[in-house]
Chain A
Amino acid sequence: MKGTQLGEFEELVLLVVGVLFPEAYGLSIREEIINQTKRSVAIGAVHSALSRLEEKGFLQSDLAEGTHERGGRRKRIFSITASGKRALEKNHEMRNSLFNQIPEMALKTIKLSGY
């Protein structure tokens, strides 16, 4: 089904939303990604992924009260929906199963070729 596939970055964002529950919003998600994966991410990129995920129904969001450090502006708190959870599980299972199907030898060659 079109639109329900998870992109790599989307998956990352979805996972981080889960990790940060219940305090996941744009900026905190970006910081967490930077901390955990050491890749540099623009705020816009995170928001773009969040809005796609919400469109696909993997995330839901609510506006929380504004705080002082935001100059009184409200923030949008994201949380994973049931279908979001299913999509994550599906991805996880698929990876595990694919990984397990790799014969021992292949992995060894990979290691050997590292010399």
Chain B
Amino acid sequence: MAIKTPYSPPKTAVKLLSLICKRSLFEEIEGDLYEYYQAEREEKSKLKSDLNYWYHMLNFLRPFALKKFGQNSNAIIMYRSYLKFAWRGMLRQKLQTSFHLLGLIVAFSICGFIYLHLKFERSFDSFFDNSEDIYRVAWMSDNPQTRTPHPMAQALVNDFPEVIDAVSLSPIYGPGLTKTTIPLKNEKKNIAFNEPNGYFVDSTFFDVFSFKVIAGNADKALREPYAIILSQSTAERYFGNEEAVGQRLSFSGMTDMLEVAAVIEDAPVNTHFHYNFLISYVTLKSLQFNDPWMSWDDFGHFNYLKLAHNTDAKQFEAKIPDWASKYLDWTQENLTALKNGDLKFELQPLEDIHLHSNIRWELENNGSASYLLIYGLSALFILLISIINFVNLNTAKAAQRLKEVGVKKTLGAYKSQVFSQFTFEALLTTFLALGLSFLAMFLFENSFNQLVNGHIDVSDLFQADLIVFLISVSVITAFLSAIYPSLYLNSFEAGQILKGLKLSKLGGANIRNGLLTVQLIAAIVMISGSIVIKNQITFLKEKDLGFKQDNLLVVDIDGWDPNTLLIKNKMLKNSSISEIAAVSNIPGGQFNQHPLYLENNPSTTIDASEMFVDDDVAAVLALKLAAGRMLNKAFSADSAGTSFVLNQSAIEALNVQNPIGKTLVWVDNENLVKGVIVGVVEDFHYRSLHEPIRPMIMAMQPNNLNYALIKVSPNDLSKTIAQIETDYKELFPDSEFHYQFLDDEIASLYQEESRTLTLVTLLSGISILLACGGLFGIISIVIRQRVKEISIRKIMGASAAQILWLMNLKYLLIAGLAILVAVPLSIFFMKDWLGNFTYQIGISPVAYIITAVGVIVLIGLTISMISMKTVKSNPAKALRAE
């Protein structure tokens, strides 16, 4: 019988066993395991046998089998003495130790925070099943938007095998396409709310978005008319602890119209849209809702596709123009534009929407990748500065430990042992800092969340990738800071050291100065960057928007049309209210748009945002008239909606001289509204300053007014608001009173900028403090080495100023070099960032001059402060001390 080749057990396990197992037992134990393994392999798979081998091997981790690491083992004694040395060293230099720790704690905590924040921001919509295969169809024109035609979703599923599922949905919009609230009511319990975040959705909603159903049959709910799906928290508000499924809700005054068919989980924070309730398109269609809104002509719906796994989205996108031409009833000109890419249906990956999509009709305010980049870079810069501090100070300290190393070597220490001692000490500090930084993060978690409007949870930190990252940073930092001192100190003969070798110079100056330059570069980039950001934001806040936004109260007036006059007259009796206007959309909000053209020139068709107004809008917003007159309901054409006021951009786009009196055709879906231009207003920024001013048309449509803009006197505001609420409640007893201030609303457009500014200012402040602290530490060590030199210079007649200059010169040169490198770098970054804004303040050289002067002064002060003590002291004393 031939002898079979034996199977060899998992090598790592054997190796591990040999490391931990007692010598005397190893052979028999390994033998038993080996024999066992051979038998296992005869019967079972390799994997199973390997796992079994590991199981039994780990089972030997019992006291009887383990090597003894007793009190008397060499390693233990050695490390105990290292620990003692490290501890005493830390206590001896309390200031330095606390600076080391503080710097590392700050850097680690900031990195941890920003990492979690970035991770959260990048996690948007990734929790859906197959989220990487889901795309939103966006419409890319010169004013791109998220909305596309409703029939598109199902047509794509029908015509393309690679489209597995698709859903069309739309928020429930009010008139003028502002997001609106719907009055829902539980009649039995008399619980009513004006419910926001309602959506119409296709029956395929759950095929694309894998939200969890908590109760009821969600699929059925979307196929049957008059069914409503509630989010869990919404259901609780209307029905408390009762079973919601099967109960009825009144919809907008229609008693008990809807049956609650299902309850689904609340959408998590990290998704790009949040719903309170869903109603099927089926319900809408059963209401004989024969609206052009459902046609291919209306780009009014959000369409999401789920593609087959591994479909190339770009390739698929390229097939859309030809395909869509079949369905779109368009002019040849537009179809050509679609085919050559001037107009385009684009597939936006679902996971990218939150950070990379910022076009018209986003469902919610999205984040911005460019800010995350700033956050991430700032955190890395601070980490870099802090690590350099640690390494630099440790190398600078090396000379102080010459004697200690000399004695150790005389007593027989190897070079490697000197290194391991230094590493051990450094590791102790970095790991202590790491531990404390976790503590700090738990303490400051809330403050950070408030600062960046974040949703981080520090306990999420305990995940493998981050822990590995932070531990590697700690270990690498410790190694770097230990290499130089031990190499340097090992380079001397022990005997020489003990005989009284004097180090004339502190070694490693070049490395240290190089690292110092890197630090300063990082700090300067951050400081100058934050000044540029500050300038830009101040610019945005102070820029004249072309209308007055102060002291304007915005009150929701759902369908108050017949009462407009009534409420106006009632409120105007209040002496603190000077003017009231009713509008469909407020500046800073979303605006619907439709095409329009001059009757005598149909070839120049432009898209214009629309705003429905009443007589008083110009007065309340202080809009300036460029030509003609504002709308006035005294003119019958005006109140019929056939007089138009355009803004200057629209006039320019239409390319028309003397527009007043010209006839305009306004394509409101299938209706062509013909009317006359009666006035032109000067351009005003009705959207955020991220966008240019686009054409706008104003008309009177009393049914489409959503907001009252109320000009109030700034005195005694709370009383005025209370009075407005009373008046409002009297006229609309069933509606909730909801108000906001226009300037707050507009400021919220720049929230992200304000937050970035706060954070970046804070971080750049920390960075320069850390850099100066590091410099302080190094200089105080350097100067101790040069006490004699300074004393001799003094005796020879050098003035204090000369000596200070001498001390400063080198570091000022370093600062100069850092400025030379940092400024172009910063300009490069900031140019890129400013590119996000249509209206930019530009990069002012003042920002850089301030930074440069500031940094140089700060460095000069730091150095002079430390030097002063030595310069002032009696030189004889220093020279006599030997």
Chain A residues within CB distance 8 Å of chain B: 25-27, 42-45, 47-48, 51-52, 63, 66, 68-71, 73-76
Contact = CB atoms under 8 A, between A and B. Distances in A.
Interface string B606-640: 00000000000000000000000000000000000
B29 interface: yes
B60 interface: yes
Nearest to B3: A68
Contacts of A69: 6, 35, 38
A68 B34 CA distance: 11
B28 A44 contact: no
Given A42-B55, A69-B38, A47 B65 contact: yes
B837 interface: no
A74 B25 CA distance: 11
B65 A27 contact: no
A44 B25 CA distance: 11
B64 A51 contact: yes
B56 A71 contact: no
B27 interface: yes
Contact of A44 (B30, B35, B59): B59
A74 B29 contact: no
A52 B60 CA distance: 14
Interface in B22-62: 25, 27-36, 38, 55-56, 59-62
B59 A26 contact: no
Contacts of B35: 27, 69-70
B65 A70 contact: no
Contacts of B36: 27, 43
26 contacts: A25-B28, A26-B29, A26-B32, A27-B32, A27-B36, A42-B56, A42-B59, A43-B32, A43-B33, A43-B56, A44-B56, A44-B62, A47-B29, A47-B65, A48-B64, A63-B27, A69-B38, A70-B32, A71-B6, A71-B31, A71-B34, A73-B27, A73-B31, A73-B34, A74-B31, A75-B28
B479 to A, nearest CB: 37
A47 B38 CA distance: 19
Given A42-B55, A44-B62, A76 B28 contact: yes
Given A42-B56, A44-B59, A51 B32 contact: no
Interface string B244-259: 0000000000000000
A44 B61 CA distance: 8
A25 B33 CA distance: 12
Interface in B507-537: none
B64 A52 contact: yes
Contact of A75 (B31, B60, B65): B31
A26 B29 CA distance: 8
Q: Which 6 A-B pairs have the closest CB atoms?
A: A73-B31, A44-B59, A42-B59, A44-B60, A26-B32, A70-B31
B419 to A, nearest CB: 38
A47 B25 contact: yes
B60 A47 contact: yes
Nearest to B55: A42
Nearest to B29: A47
B30 A73 contact: yes
A45 B32 CA distance: 13
B14 to A, nearest CB: 11
Most buried by B among A44, A52, A63: A44
Nearest to A51: B64
A12 to B, nearest CB: 17
B25 A51 contact: yes
A38 to B, nearest CB: 18
B62 A66 contact: no
A45 B64 CA distance: 10
A25 B3 contact: no
A3 to B, nearest CB: 14
A66 B56 contact: no
A70 B27 CA distance: 10
Contact of A25 (B32, B38, B61): B32
A10 to B, nearest CB: 13
Contact of B28 (A42, A68, A71, A74): A74
A74 B27 contact: yes
Contacts of A42: 55-56, 59
Given A51-B25, A71-B6, A75-B31, 20 more contacts: A25-B28, A42-B55, A42-B56, A43-B29, A43-B36, A43-B59, A44-B65, A47-B32, A47-B60, A48-B64, A48-B65, A51-B64, A63-B28, A68-B3, A68-B6, A69-B35, A70-B31, A71-B31, A73-B27, A74-B28
A29 B33 CA distance: 13
A75 B31 CA distance: 7
Contacts of A45: 59
A94 B750 CA distance: 88
A62 to B, nearest CB: 11
A69 B3 CA distance: 10
Contacts of A26: 28-29, 32
Most buried by B among A27, A45, A63, A70: A70
Nearest to B27: A73
A51 B28 CA distance: 12
Contacts of A27: 32, 35-36
A75 B30 CA distance: 10
A51 B31 CA distance: 16
A47 B36 CA distance: 14
A108 B306 CA distance: 73
Contacts of A68: 3, 6
A72 to B, nearest CB: 9
Nearest to A27: B32
Contact of A48 (B3, B31, B62): B62
A73 B36 CA distance: 13
A9 to B, nearest CB: 13
Contacts of B60: 43-44, 47
Contacts of A74: 27-28, 31
Nearest to A63: B28
A43 B30 CA distance: 11
Nearest to B30: A73
A48 B22 CA distance: 13
Contacts of A66: 31
Nearest to A71: B34
Nearest to B31: A73
Interface string B651-687: 0000000000000000000000000000000000000
B204 to A, nearest CB: 52
Nearest to B8: A71
Contacts of B32: 25-27, 43, 47, 70, 75
Nearest to A46: B32
A74 B65 CA distance: 17
Nearest to B64: A51
A52 B31 CA distance: 20
Contacts of B28: 25-26, 63, 73-76
B65 to A, nearest CB: 7
A68 B31 CA distance: 10
B192 to A, nearest CB: 65
Nearest to B63: A48
A42 B62 CA distance: 12
Contacts of A48: 62, 64-65
Contacts of A70: 31-32, 34-35
B178 to A, nearest CB: 69
Contacts of B64: 47-48, 51-52
Nearest to B62: A48
Contacts of B65: 44, 47-48, 51
Contacts of B55: 42
A44 B65 CA distance: 9
Nearest to A61: B28
Nearest to B7: A71
A32 to B, nearest CB: 14
Query: Which of B3, B31, B60, B65 has the most chain A CB within a 10 Å cutoff?
Result: B31
Contacts of A63: 27-28
Contacts of A25: 28, 32
Contacts of A73: 27-28, 30-31, 34
